[in-house]
Chain A
């Protein structure tokens, strides 16, 4: 058959176009990881480098490990060698002796005596001070627990419990909706879709004020309640499609064999639907793990991981934010790739119909 011009043009441009788009899809993710392992000098300049020249794990260490601290809550380095020369901002030479204690806020590169005087240090000098210090970085230090492990734990528990509640509430309902007469079921599904139209800011406002009086702000339970709001209709919507595929004959024959309605549901229907429920549950877990808006409305002190990441980016520490963002992303990338094969056809085409 004769090849026609428009077909040829399409074929000709499609591959380069695909390459460009694929590059655009990957590039930001690469930048995220790159920033989290770059030397600050590579990023904090007018002309940042595209490739990683010196890999540093310093930013990761900073968020995973805690410096050992004194009672005053400041970081203390004891200098191990006999004495250390340090130049202050006014080019004064200060001699530090082993008996004294110093506080160093690593990122701002300041060295200050506990008595209060503050001196600027260059990065190299700071490094020398650090290398000479006997202070150890430890896992599960108080600071790390507060800043990293607690938010991770909160995010994990909220997402997991939300998923479990969502399944128990949405799955039975979805089953019943799937067995309703077509017209009624269609109206209910439209209704579920309709709840998606409500702006979250509109729902979160009265919820937040209500939760204050119920003392649910800052609690895991409060967040679970909030996360169920968008996820219940979503899961029910997906699961109606899953249950619709199961033929009614299956349950009829089970009933004829003498199984009660509950037994039929428990032993026949839900096991058949289990893979579909699992996929839907993973979507709910992801939604909840990512959720930002409700968490922002309902959090004053103890944030989830997204909230913590946002707080860090607003303080301007890019490298820490990049590392946090990477941690936030890892589980999702894994689950998304696992879900990929389900994404292709069944679920979405079901959603379109």
Chain B
């Protein structure tokens, strides 16, 4: 009681947030898990949704596409973002201009970036025209019909949209590394590559981890881009769950969402397990 008396104001201030998150996030997630175990037809508890899920051809490709887009996409994104961040960290003429240019995609809604890149990668789009004018193709390949080329286009689209944020995250990390560390290593005779490998990268690791985790969560949940750009040609888990919802197959939709949640949690656990363990070993 004394605790309540002393901290009543604080509790009052925190309560709405926690109540909201409890009621509108935590409970719905539990409900989704519950829905996924209930047969839509008979209202009985059963595993039928999961059975039909894994025999569904769209689901299997959705599962593969989601994981592929995330793993490949994030690897490419982090590498490119790191290169850009390293360049932008150096002082040179026009740096402010380039920094501003880099931010443009951030001001474009995800949906719009899907629409725009649809114009670019459509069959009579500007990418094909560019290839044609460069003499690289004579016909017009269709990039969005499914398969690896569509996945590559989606990975590019996702990268285009989020590159600014990733670059900013890494840049903030880079700028927090003090100049004196580099000066000391120069005196010790380290060259650029060695500096990068032995100083920049280890010191940047918290930022990279943060970027990977944040990006991976978003990338697993990717929704608008595949939906707008390829329709049903490239199903991912989110669009699969949405399609099932639209057909009123709530159980199936819930099951797909649960699988997605499991994948995200598994990924993060695995990442920390591998990275942290390596760190512990290195530290010894």
Point out residues on A near B: beta carbons under 8 Å.
Answer: 1, 4-7, 10, 14-15, 17-18, 21-22, 24-29, 31-32, 35, 44-48, 50, 169-170, 172-173, 175-177, 179, 195-210, 225, 228-229, 232-233, 236, 261-262, 289-290, 292-293, 296-297, 306, 309-310, 313, 318, 321-322, 325, 328-329, 332-337, 340, 343-345, 348-349, 351-352
Question: Given the known A-B contacts A202-B260, A296-B242, A322-B115, are A177 and B14 also in contact in the complex, defined by CB atoms under 8 Å?
Answer: yes
5 residue pairs from A and B, CB less than 8 Å apart: A25-B160, A195-B21, A203-B24, A313-B228, A344-B171
B47-55, B69-77, B185-193, B272-280: which lies at the A interface?
B185-193
- B2 → A minimal CB distance (Å): 17
CB-CB nearest 8 A-B residue pairs: A202-B257, A336-B107, A172-B13, A173-B17, A206-B31, A333-B107, A201-B241, A7-B192
Contact B257 A332 (CB under 8 A): no
Contact B32 A32 (CB under 8 A): no
Q: Which of B14, B27, B113 has the most CB of A within 10 A?
A: B14
- A32 → B minimal CB distance (Å): 4
- A151 → B minimal CB distance (Å): 13
Contact B25 A198 (CB under 8 A): yes
Contact A208 B245 (CB under 8 A): yes
Cβ contact of B29, chosen from A35, A203, A297, A352, cutoff 8 A: A203
Interface members, chain B 1-58 (any A CB < 8 Å):
9-10, 13-14, 16-18, 20-21, 24-29, 31-32, 35
When chains A and B are docked, how far (Å) is the Cα of A203 from the Cα of B241?
Answer: 11
Any A CB within 8 A of the CB of B226 = no
Question: Given the known A-B contacts A197-B265, A261-B9, A329-B109, are A352 and B206 also in contact in the complex, defined by CB atoms under 8 Å?
Answer: yes
Cβ contact of B223, chosen from A18, A292, A337, cutoff 8 A: A292
Contact B103 A31 (CB under 8 A): no
Contact B32 A202 (CB under 8 A): yes
- Residues on the A chain within 8 Å of B126, using CB: 27, 31, 48, 50
Contact A290 B109 (CB under 8 A): yes
When chains A and B are docked, how far (Å) is the Cα of A15 from the Cα of B83?
Answer: 12
Cβ contact of B112, chosen from A7, A209, A309, A334, cutoff 8 A: A309
- Residues on the B chain within 8 Å of A262, using CB: 9
Question: Given the known A-B contacts A202-B28, A332-B108, are A345 and B175 also in contact in the complex, defined by CB atoms under 8 Å?
Answer: yes
- Residues on the A chain within 8 Å of B271, using CB: none
Contact A201 B108 (CB under 8 A): no
When chains A and B are docked, how far (Å) is the Cα of A227 from the Cα of B90?
Answer: 39
Contact A22 B29 (CB under 8 A): no
When chains A and B are docked, how far (Å) is the Cα of A32 from the Cα of B125?
Answer: 12
Contact B258 A202 (CB under 8 A): yes
Closest chain A residue, CB of each to CB of B220:
A199
Contact A202 B118 (CB under 8 A): no
Any A CB within 8 A of the CB of B152 = no
Contact A325 B116 (CB under 8 A): yes
- A303 → B minimal CB distance (Å): 12
Contact A292 B224 (CB under 8 A): yes
Any A CB within 8 A of the CB of B132 = yes
- A159 → B minimal CB distance (Å): 12
Question: Given the known A-B contacts A196-B217, A233-B21, A329-B107, are A176 and B14 also in contact in the complex, defined by CB atoms under 8 Å?
Answer: yes
Cβ contact of A313, chosen from B108, B118, B160, cutoff 8 A: B118
When chains A and B are docked, how far (Å) is the Cα of A349 from the Cα of B174?
Answer: 10
Contact B172 A293 (CB under 8 A): no
Contact A200 B107 (CB under 8 A): no
- B34 → A minimal CB distance (Å): 9
Contact A205 B111 (CB under 8 A): no
Contact A201 B193 (CB under 8 A): no
Contact B10 A201 (CB under 8 A): no
Any A CB within 8 A of the CB of B110 = yes
Any A CB within 8 A of the CB of B250 = yes
Contact A6 B191 (CB under 8 A): yes
Contact A348 B168 (CB under 8 A): yes
Contact B172 A352 (CB under 8 A): yes
Contact A175 B13 (CB under 8 A): yes
Interface string of B75-107 (1 = CB under 8 A from A): 000001001101110101000001011111111
Contact B17 A229 (CB under 8 A): no
Closest chain A residue, CB of each to CB of B13:
A172
- Residues on the B chain within 8 Å of A44, using CB: 124
